[in-house]
A and B are shown apart, each in its own frame.
Chain A
């Protein structure tokens, strides 16, 4: 059984973001990098499949500069067997369709039974790559899974829908699954596994070998949302506050009219 898990290295969301001079992406100075949160659920689920199906082999794939190997090492330390690093200095300029095409190009002859991706990336947030990989490979894909069970070639999942509703689905492998918060709690790598990860196979492939698709979308501009009127904090005694609130509501709204 072969499993592929696709991960992305993203900036920590607590960082201070600035728009880059290009005006189409963020400036990467002073950012701390980590594995995309949703991809961590994917890695964890892939490793759990491996723990269940002993003969399973998990490949982790990541596209980006040499820096992303740090994040890949964490996936290897969590339990993935091998890594494929697709060397691409300008991955941030590629649109989801291109990214999915690169992954599909890599995966097409590898006979993966399961492909896990995050349901979206924390920085671009398009939520398209996983499902586009499925389409490109012409295999079924299920997005935003929050429960997962594998049994003898069949996968049973729950998907998260709007308003807290869940949909239960089953699919036969091969399939693509995009992972949502709540699927699992990613493990903390143990030290022996961190050590082993250093010796695991981590192949680097130039993106040019896999990229045969031109961009269909272009990022025009990246900007911070305009600041709109802020909130108002009232302080003081409860009775005074009530009077103030009534005055404001009367003045600025018609709810008391």
Chain B
């Protein structure tokens, strides 16, 4: 006996099968294409943005995220279920395509059949296994979503339809196979190659052949209607993510992480800055809204959401999406609410985890740019006052600019104006220059450099705020003004290497200033610089025990992927490190990013207290950080959490300076 099966068994291969079948298929595809075209028109409403460069990298990224399900699988359990379900469905799709290819093409025109023999056996068992895995994972996902996750979600109805359609396709597939096998395969050795179908065949074995044939034919057509229905539903439901999420992976931002677009402030024809309506967003911002699967991963990790603030990155993207479709001329700031827009700390937790490659942070900054540059609005008067102080004195505290270098007056550190032949320029930043607590960090860093025999220079009163908090608050004008002044000084002194003790300064000088003309300068964060000094043996320290936990600042961690250097430094200092549950890519923001350092936290719980409590729960003595904003927030947080006696907060430089050999 030929090892194979008759394709179109029972339903026939005549015109009364093929005609309605192909007609309906074509109709469903027409529905899919025309609805997709309508959506394409929506994307075209947005501003241009080049996301088709570096084709090779884009294709590889897309394959990784689609075929290998890389980003989805970053989250265990639900991610793995999704991966398994996707691969099963993909196999079933390939299997169906092979059947169509043989029955309606190779066999029909060339009399070639390849679904036979051992290949057929493998084909059969693979598809059966895929069907079983798909049913199990779909059920698990259904239970997970409905019982644990989606209470009170508005779109629950849609998701029930989607789950039901997929489940019905899978189950009817097995009924078709089972009823066919009950007639043709039961009792043959081939049956064992279709374990799923075999189960159903046994269930149906009591039915007579006539009944089985009627059952088979009805369910075959039902299965078919479900499949064409599924195709037609794609553009009208979250099924669209099959197309949009995978495409979004292709269009993802391949530039440096978290880098914002540089506004051209010289362009005199430009009348609006930032975005407060859909057409001021880019096409990618609009496309993002269609790529969103509402999986809530962003919301789960958003520190603002976790502390009861009116921001959910997912909701923001969905609101943008609804506005695009229903009310494209509406004011986005009214819809999203300025409280939500100001609540973001730009910590990037949402973007880092998003399986759909959605870019949340730049949207929020564009909205803020509109608020600040077009309306002169800020989250509070304290922020406006910080901006004005920075305009006058180059620091948000409003302290006289001339005293910026005073902290270093007795440390043997020269300003570049006095002596520019130095090994490194230490760009101290505002906090390390003016804030008492952080001056201790600056002094420790200088001590370490001097112990390593390095000559350290500072800009002193010629240094200005790097402009990062202002930029993230949307004040691009002030940022560019400050940046231009700093860059001019740095270039005029011929600086070759800059080290900062602030990840915000580091990120800004290293990435953002490049767009404004800073070139040929190495910029390093002190944790990386110190690790190099330790590894090269230039800096000798004696290890002493330290019981601590380490906080990954957002701008060193997620924005720059520097996770190991600081840990290596702590290890060589003799520290035994216990990690907080939220560490590395999952680190929980201290509250001060995104310019929030300038703002009072008036809504919800205090983020810094929440983070300190996570640290305090570990029972370690010291909470180590790498950022003056984090340190400031934690100094305040230990008081708020009432753990100031048991938990001390230190910068890595301070830990190391105590151990200089």
Contact = CB atoms under 8 A, between A and B. Distances in A.
B477 A191 contact: yes
Nearest to B265: A191
B402 A185 contact: no
B313 to A, nearest CB: 27
A34 interface: yes
A14 B399 contact: yes
Contact of A187 (B268, B376, B477): B376
A66 interface: no
A190 interface: yes
Contacts of B391: 34
Contact of B477 (A15, A30, A32, A194): A194
Contact of A190 (B265, B374, B388, B402): B374
B271 interface: yes
A16 B403 CA distance: 8
Nearest to B273: A191
A230 interface: no
Interface of B is mostly: helix
A185 B387 contact: no
Contacts of B375: 190
B392 A34 contact: yes
A185 B383 CA distance: 13
Given A30-B461, A192-B271, A185 B374 contact: no
Interface in B391-422: 391-394, 398-403
Contact of A15 (B376, B377, B402, B476): B402
B273 A32 contact: no
Contact of B373 (A32, A33, A185, A191): A191
A194 B266 CA distance: 12
A188 interface: yes
Contacts of B227: none
Contacts of A192: 271-273, 373-374
A188 B383 CA distance: 11
B339 interface: no
A147 B435 CA distance: 38
Given A12-B393, A30-B402, A190 B373 contact: yes
Contact of A188 (B268, B272, B387): B387
A185 B372 CA distance: 16
Nearest to A193: B376
B29 interface: no
Contacts, number: 56
Contacts of A191: 265, 273, 373-374, 476-477
Contacts of B477: 191, 194
A195 interface: yes
B268 A14 contact: no
A187 B374 CA distance: 12
B403 A12 contact: no
Interface in A1-39: 12, 14-16, 30-34
A190 B391 CA distance: 14
Contacts of A16: 400, 402-403
A14 B398 contact: yes
Contacts of A194: 477
A188 to B, nearest CB: 4
A153 interface: no
Contacts of A206: none
B400 A32 contact: yes
Contacts of B186: none
Contacts of A182: none
Nearest to B397: A14
B605 interface: no
B451 to A, nearest CB: 32
A185 B381 contact: yes
Contacts of B533: none
A195 B392 contact: no
B510 to A, nearest CB: 26
A189 B271 CA distance: 14
Given A15-B400, A191-B273, A191-B373, A32 B378 contact: no
Contacts of A190: 373-376
A79 to B, nearest CB: 11
A195 B400 CA distance: 28
Contacts of A188: 372, 376-378, 384, 387-388
Given A14-B399, A15-B400, A185-B381, A32 B376 contact: no
Interface in B471-517: 476-477
Q: Which interface residue of A32, A34, A190, A191 has the most chain B CB atoms within 10 A?
A: A191
Contacts of B403: 16
Nearest to B477: A191
A216 to B, nearest CB: 33
Contacts of A187: 376
Given A12-B400, A189-B376, A191-B374, A32 B393 contact: yes
Contacts of A185: 381
Q: Which interface residue of A14, A30, A34, A185 has the most chain B CB atoms within 10 A?
A: A14
B374 A32 contact: no
A14 B393 contact: yes
A34 B272 CA distance: 27
A197 to B, nearest CB: 12
Interface in B227-270: 265, 268
Contacts of B373: 190-192
Given A12-B393, A188-B387, A195 B268 contact: yes
A14 B400 contact: yes
20 contacts: A12-B398, A14-B398, A15-B400, A30-B401, A32-B401, A34-B391, A185-B381, A187-B376, A188-B377, A188-B387, A189-B376, A190-B373, A190-B375, A190-B376, A191-B265, A191-B273, A191-B373, A191-B477, A192-B272, A192-B273
Interface of B: 265, 268, 271-273, 372-378, 381, 384, 387-388, 391-394, 398-403, 461, 476-477
Given A34-B391, A188-B384, A192-B374, 16 more contacts: A12-B393, A12-B398, A14-B399, A14-B400, A16-B400, A30-B401, A32-B392, A32-B401, A188-B372, A188-B378, A190-B373, A191-B273, A191-B374, A191-B476, A192-B271, A195-B268
- Nearest first, the 9 A-B pairs at minimum CB distance are A30-B402, A188-B376, A191-B373, A15-B400, A14-B400, A34-B392, A32-B392, A32-B393, A190-B376
Interface of A: 12, 14-16, 30-34, 185, 187-192, 194-195
